[in-house]
Amino acid sequence: MEQLKVDFDKVIESLKLSRESINFRKKNFNQFINNGFPNKRVEDWKFSDLNQIISSNIENLRFYTDLELGETDESTFIDKFAHNKIIFLNGIISKVDFSFEDDSKVLITNDLNQNETSKEVNPLVSLNNALVASYIRVTVKENYSLNKPLIIYNITTKKLKSTTINLKTDIVLEKNSSLKLINLCGDNSENNFINIVQNFDISQDAILKNYKIDHKKNSNIKYSYNNINLEKNSISENFIFSTGSKFMKNEINCNLNDKYSSAFINGIINLTNSQHHEIKTNINHLAENTKSYQLIKSVLNDNAKGIYQGKIYVDSKAQKTNGYQLSKALLLSENTEFDGKPELEIYADDVKCSHGATSGNLDEDAIFYLMSRGLSNQQSKELLINGFLLDAVEKITDIEIKDLIKKMIGIVE
């Protein structure tokens, strides 16, 4: 923690912030110092002891983001379709490109001088608030739909000296606007802790599609926290493709604040070796006629560990809520572990909520059937696994992005 204090002072010094902003960061810093990295005694972290994971994977924690950028690996960039870009390189924004859009309709701000008043209780968000060195806020103006998707690239290079990176983005969709967003990881550094915080404010009738892709195998430890606020009749569609990092926890807190808003969180966890990934969701139904839907499919090999903690909270005001969650896991070796913890907390009486979970191995008879047609054991298993994952992928409503993710998984058509 000594290093952390030294690095914090360096960050504050280098960023040239306002007095209020420095105070805000100090408060957050102290909040983190008081809690430290969450360990398994914290209820939300009982399946993923981050403190232990970080100390056993990262030797000397350093928090100061240097400005050495290094070369970007061109293969990280998506060339299948045209898109707008924001590129974070080693935690620093290196490119912002909205050339497909009307620039009076998409506002970009980078001002690091923030001092939000809300009391933060998540120590990792506090850590992020205290240390973040590069920030972007994208506001989509009323009635505007972006012509092309936006891809936020989170790229690290071998030149990275710090062992931790804090990224922060805020996305604001004004009334009746829409955005398709891909958050794509491109990891070339090793054994880093990457802490990503994203806030989404989705106004009335607006639509946000957010596809979170961590697909290339890497040794990094990641935490991604999304806070989503939905207003009347707005939609948030999320897809999590969780397969690359050594450790990854995707946490989504979603507030359905007003009538007819809906949230979809679908995802895939596909792991080998000793990878450990978690998806944790909190869906808060806070108004009438709100809807949430979650489908998570996990495939675990070797010694991998997968976790899905899905909580649906229904406020007493939120009559006619429709909440659904389903988790299915394929455990392909005896040494895998899958932990599922569904939670329903319901204070209204006229609601439809359900949850379900299954886990098991591949069907031997199905393997026999496919092999009897000449497919190898490996080919048969791959077909069955991809078949198992397909219905979650099919939930993606954007065809272009769905095809991209299918290709990344290896689903042929």
- Cβ(326)–Cβ(342) under 8 Å? no
Contact residue for another protein among 330, 389, 404, 405 (CB under 8 A): 389
Beta bridge pairs of residue 356: 326
Q: Would you count residue 388 as binding another protein (CB under 8 A)? A: yes
Q: Classify 327 in phi/psi space as left (phi over 0), alpha (psi -120 to 50) or beta.
A: beta
How far, in Å, CA of 316 to CA of 322, rounded? 14
Q: Would you count residue 81 as binding another protein (CB under 8 A)? A: no
Contact residue for another protein among 33, 383, 398, 403 (CB under 8 A): 383
Edge-to-edge strands, sheet with 106-109: 106-109, 135-140, 164-173, 193-202, 221-230, 247-256, 276-285, 305-314, 337-346
The interface mask with another protein, positions 295-334, x = CB under 8 A, is: ----------------------------------------
Q: Would you count residue 410 as binding another protein (CB under 8 A)? A: no
How far, in Å, CA of 296 to CA of 359, rounded? 12
Size of the site for another protein (CB under 8 A): 25
- Cβ(222)–Cβ(249) under 8 Å? yes
Please state, as a whole number, how many other Cβ atoms lie within 10 Å of the Cβ of residue 11.
Answer: 20
Beta bridge pairs of residue 205: none
Please report how many Cα atoms fall inside a 13 Å half-sphere around the Cα of residue 68, on the Cβ side.
Answer: 10
Contact residue for another protein among 370, 404, 405, 409 (CB under 8 A): 370
Taking CB under 8 A as the binding criterion, the range among 167-175, 250-258, 367-375, 395-403 that sits at the site for another protein is: 367-375
Shortest distance in whole angstroms from residue 260 CB to another protein: 32
Taking CB under 8 A as the binding criterion, the range among 34-42, 108-116, 242-250, 380-388 that sits at the site for another protein is: 380-388
Shortest distance in whole angstroms from residue 197 CB to another protein: 35
Contact residue for another protein among 67, 80, 376, 410 (CB under 8 A): 376
Residues in contact with 197: Cβ distance below 8 Å, sequence separation at least 6, in sequence order:
124, 125, 128, 129, 132, 166, 167, 168, 169, 224, 225, 227
Contact residue for another protein among 352, 377, 407, 410 (CB under 8 A): 377
Q: Would you count residue 412 as binding another protein (CB under 8 A)? A: yes
How far, in Å, CA of 128 to CA of 122, rounded? 10
Comparison of 347 and 369: residue with beta carbon closer to another protein? 369
Q: Would you count residue 408 as binding another protein (CB under 8 A)? A: no
Contact residue for another protein among 20, 71, 345, 391 (CB under 8 A): 391
Q: Would you count residue 9 as binding another protein (CB under 8 A)? A: no
| Binding footprint of another protein on the chain (CB under 8 A) | 363-366, 368-377, 379, 383-384, 386-391, 412-413
